[in-house]
Amino acid sequence: MGFWHTGYIEFHQPVGLTGEWKPGPLRLTCPHCGQEFGSEDDLRRHRFEAHPLYRPALFLNGRELGTQRVRITRPLGSKQIRVEGATRAVLNGHEVVVARLGLKLSEISNDVCRIVLGKEGVEAQFELEIRVASEADLCGVENQFKSMAACRRLDMRAIEDFIAATSRYSSAIGYCDGICAYLYGLMAKERATDCSLPHEAYLARYAKAAEELAPYDRNLAHTIGGLIEFHFNHFRDAERLCAGSRLGAVASRFAGWIESRVGVPTIYTDDADEEITALEGLVTEWDTEQILGWAGRPLLALSEHLDDIELFFKRDLAEFDRVKLHMLLGEAFAALGKTKSALEHARALRNLPALEGWAEALIREVGEHK
């Protein structure tokens, strides 16, 4: 668990800050109707068939951009940008040939790009913030993070020192901001003594951190992003970001329960990638650590932990965590044949739209007689 709880394991033990580790395939969601697709081609076909173009559209890596500013932190290739349904394009006030917009954008490494696409009197506007982070700056931030973790202290002062030490890595400023937003959020969530933020402030900090870190293809960014998605019970997103780690395995299990409850594989978190799991442990707050520990075990093996879990459950927990525990206890009691307790936990989630299906399925299984 978090380096500030345990005095983190020595740094000669590998943690997955460097090295290859890629998140799982992106879930491709239609921004207009929310339907999901397995490939970019399928999504593209659906996009034009189901939602005919009435205004110009801009695509980045096959994903359609909305009106919100998008931050790009890696060098942009001209082929990553595609324009549909536009006869003219304006980039920061200068007219450019539509077919050359991608090339123009690929030449920019540090600027906010305001793009207007137009056709027959219809216009659409987009904003790309291109801040290409240098490898040296990204590594600089990660080295400072390691130093902070090695000090085994997390308080306001430690974060301020981290900010001061990373200020010279200016191209990676968003990376640093995202990490800090998470750490502040985590302190608020844990009600750290020297943290002036109220407990609920963690929600906004977590949301900010997830947004800031999303553009960074770095293990630490994926790990923090995955922990945040897991906290908010976005299990498939957590699984995608942390594929192969303990968190990824547990998230996949919760997602499976929600989606069908049939054939959810027994998970063995022992198989998880050790370095990534070690990195995960570095930045995992206390409650999440407990939940991951229990939810990573076979259900039948939970029989000896039920008292601990129920005791933990009585604490002042975040609602999102309470939901996970209701699910875990519901499943565990059902597996152990303790019908009455299983029903109590299932009923507690019956009125949440996202969990209704799970709750009803569990209630049916253990046999409620109305």
Interacting residues toward Zn ion by CB under 5 A: 30, 32-33, 50
- CA dihedral sign of residues 33, 35, 37, 42: negative
Q: Taking the complex as a whole, how short is the minimal distance between the CB of residue 130 and Zn ion, in angstroms?
A: 28
Q: Which is nearer to Zn ion, 33 or 354 (CB)?
A: 33
Q: Taking the complex as a whole, how short is the minimal distance between the CB of residue 51 and Zn ion, in angstroms?
A: 5
Q: Which is nearer to Zn ion, 34 or 367 (CB)?
A: 34
User: What secondary structure letter does DSSP report for 352?
Assistant: S
Residue 49 to residues 46, 83, 117, 123, 284, Cα–Cα distance (Å): 5, 17, 21, 21, 43
Q: Which is nearer to Zn ion, 32 or 168 (CB)?
A: 32
Q: Which is nearer to Zn ion, 51 or 82 (CB)?
A: 51
Q: Taking the complex as a whole, how short is the minimal distance between the CB of residue 35 and Zn ion, in angstroms?
A: 5
Q: Taking the complex as a whole, how short is the minimal distance between the CB of residue 57 and Zn ion, in angstroms?
A: 13
3-state secondary structure of 63: strand
Residue 86 near residue 20 (C-beta atoms within 8 A): no
Q: Taking the complex as a whole, how short is the minimal distance between the CB of residue 64 and Zn ion, in angstroms?
A: 10
Q: Taking the complex as a whole, how short is the minimal distance between the CB of residue 186 and Zn ion, in angstroms?
A: 36
Q: Taking the complex as a whole, how short is the minimal distance between the CB of residue 48 and Zn ion, in angstroms?
A: 10
Among the listed residues 206, 219, 222, 221, the one whose alpha carbon sits nearest the alpha carbon of residue 174: 221
Alpha carbon 211 to chain centroid distance?
9
Q: What is the DSSP string of 86-107?
A: -SEEEETTEEE-GGGHHHHHHT
Q: Which is nearer to Zn ion, 32 or 79 (CB)?
A: 32
Q: Which is nearer to Zn ion, 30 or 90 (CB)?
A: 30
Q: Which residues partner with 28 through β-bridges?
A: 37
| CA 349/CA 358 separation, integer angstroms | 9
Q: Which is nearer to Zn ion, 50 or 122 (CB)?
A: 50
Q: Taking the complex as a whole, how short is the minimal distance between the CB of residue 80 and Zn ion, in angstroms?
A: 22
Q: What is the DSSP string of 287-325?
A: HHHHHHHHHTS-GGGGGGGHHHHHHHHTS---HHHHHHH
| CA 314/CA 331 separation, integer angstroms | 18
Q: Which is nearer to Zn ion, 14 or 62 (CB)?
A: 62
Q: Which is nearer to Zn ion, 52 or 263 (CB)?
A: 52
Q: Taking the complex as a whole, how short is the minimal distance between the CB of residue 46 and Zn ion, in angstroms?
A: 6
3-state secondary structure of 82: strand
Residue 316 near residue 286 (C-beta atoms within 8 A): no
Among the listed residues 267, 281, 285, the one whose alpha carbon sits nearest the alpha carbon of residue 14: 281
Q: Which is nearer to Zn ion, 42 or 365 (CB)?
A: 42
| CA 50/CA 259 separation, integer angstroms | 25
**One-letter amino acid of 253:** R
State the pairing for strand pair 94-96/88-91.
Answer: antiparallel
Q: Taking the complex as a whole, how short is the minimal distance between the CB of residue 306 and Zn ion, in angstroms?
A: 44
